[in-house]
Amino acid sequence: MLSGIPLVLLLLAAVAFIIVATAKLNLHAFLALLIAAYGTALVAGVDPAEAASLVTDGFGGVLGYIGIVILAGTIIGTALERSGAAIVIAESILGVVGEEYTTEVMAITGSIVSIPVFCDSGFVILSGLNRSLAERSSLSLSTLGVALAGGLYVTHVFVPPTPGPIAAAGILGADIGLVMLAGLVVSAPIVFVASAWANRVASRFHIDPAPEMTMEDIKAEYGSLPSPAASFAPLVVPIALIALGSIAAYPEAENPELVTGALQRWLLFIGDPAVALLIGVFISFVVVPEFTTDITDEWVSEGIKKAAVILAVTGAGGAFGEVLGALPLEQFVTDTFGGLGIGLLAAFVVAAAMKTALGSSTVAILTTASLIASLLDPLGLATQWGRVFAVLAIGAGSMTVSHANDSYFWIITEFTDMEAATAYQAWTLGTLVLGVASIIWILVVQNIVGLVL
């Protein structure tokens, strides 16, 4: 079996293949990752029968851990999208914060909506509202567009059940509940970095909102909108349950005052991410204007269809990671980087390189998580919290940077009437700032957690 420098060169060749296959040849990431997994194993000298077993075990293992969570989260997102609950969430935040902070409102709204909804879908859903509020507040459409895009982007890469962070948690063996809670802590200030960038930089480029619909027209298009409580509940309840589950699971030896016995067992059950999000699915049915099984069946079916591609790519990423875990890379990394304390920075840099080359944040996260899964120990990230922060560092890298090979870049330009040259200044440079600010804040939070625990 290959080892040392030849093995590292093989690994670089596998990554290069994934980049070229997806970015240049337009091969689907699912196929590219599977080919890379099989090819790497065979060229490295793994027995063919063992190579086949590694791929299937890796594919099934990661989906067994996070499959239900991805499906349930996608169904919740579909319900929020189809019912108009996302519009209600935006209006509710606007009512609390005030119209003088419209930029911040759009960033916050995006960060909430993007927890179960993919960021590109969320931007399309809220684009009409974005134009209407830009007109009403006399702001450039570029200002609110970048604020909304940034808010959506931040939680998309940090907070499960969006596919990137939850897939990384599955591949790295990180606790999903802790990733969700830590992701929310990391996201909160970065959302305001996004709104500050929009106010200071994106505002320099004036774009007339020219709204086609007023707020009243948008509401009328949905017909009967759900109440604010019903709109927030499918998001808030699962997060609260997962938080309770994480508290109940904390080692009793260190925290004897925490709940024990039957209460602890039930909290661990309802706080399991799969159970919590399934509860969120049934809660999301309350946003249906008129509850009918036809509507709920249609929404569930649509959510499952949307999740299918993510499940396939996630499984393929798990297969690639399983193959890499079987190769003798650990000693090389230990000899080269051991003791340098650059684990999180290494994860960030690799993810940023993948993002810049591939365009897709989700594929960048999957590829990077697969690469470092077997290297957590030499990188100093093999602890429970080390795995959590590794997921977040990879997420930060996957924002850095969004440019012309990213479909999200073109969605933003299309729905904000922004020229590509303007978008490079207002959006692409902004994602560089978001990524760097994120990894700095993650390192700060890691040190705080280390001092507290």
**Comparison of pLDDT for 113 and 343, the residue scoring more:** 113
Q: Once rounded to an integer, what is the mean pLDDT over residues 83-105?
A: 87
Provide the pLDDT for residue 441: 96
Q: Once rounded to an integer, what is the mean pLDDT over residues 248-273?
A: 72
Q: Are the beta carbons of 366 and 313 closer than 8 angstroms?
A: yes
Provide the pLDDT for residue 162: 85
pLDDT at 254 over 70: no
Provide the pLDDT for residue 182: 94
Provide the pLDDT for residue 259: 57
How would residue 330 be classed by pLDDT, with cut points 50, 70 and 90? low
How would residue 125 be classed by pLDDT, with cut points 50, 70 and 90? confident
User: pTM of the entire structure?
Assistant: 0.83
pLDDT at 253 over 50: no
Share of the chain above pLDDT 90, in %: 33
Amino acid at 414: E
Provide the pLDDT for residue 9: 87
Q: Tell me which of 117-131, 183-197, 278-292 is least confident.
A: 278-292
Give the C-alpha separation, 405 to 409, whole Å: 8
Q: Tell me which of 5-14, 196-205, 382-391 is least confident.
A: 5-14
Domains of the chain, residue spans: 4-452
How would residue 291 be classed by pLDDT, with cut points 50, 70 and 90? low
Provide the pLDDT for residue 250: 66
Give every CB contact of residue 292 below 8 A, 6+ residues apart in sequence.
none
pLDDT tens figures, 54-69: 999 989 988 887 888 8
Farthest CA pair distance, the chain: 66
Q: Are the beta carbons of 87 and 319 closer than 8 angstroms?
A: no
Provide the pLDDT for residue 340: 53
| Mean pLDDT for all residues in the chain | 86
Q: Are the beta carbons of 400 and 431 closer than 8 angstroms?
A: yes
Listed as own residue / partner, the contacts of 28-36 with beta carbons closer than 8 Å and 24 or more positions apart are: 29/313, 29/316, 29/360, 29/363, 29/366, 30/309, 30/312, 30/313, 30/316, 31/316, 32/316, 33/313, 33/316, 33/317, 33/319, 33/320, 33/366, 33/367, 33/370, 34/316, 34/319, 34/320, 36/320
pLDDT tens figures, 221-230: 777 788 899 8
Provide the pLDDT for residue 334: 57
Give the C-alpha separation, 227 to 231, whole Å: 6
Half-sphere exposure of 324 (CA within 13 A, CB side): 29
Which range is most confident: 180-189, 266-275, 351-360, 442-451?
A: 180-189
**Comparison of pLDDT for 211 and 43, the residue scoring more:** 43
Give ∠ CA 168-174-179 in degrees, rounded to 5: 80
Note the Cα 291 to chain centre separation in Å: 30
Give every CB contact of residue 303 below 8 A, 6+ residues apart in sequence.
71, 74, 75, 76, 77, 78, 79
Torsion sign across C-alpha atoms 121, 94, 151, 235:
negative
Amino acid at 240: A
Give ∠ CA 40-45-47 in degrees, rounded to 5: 100
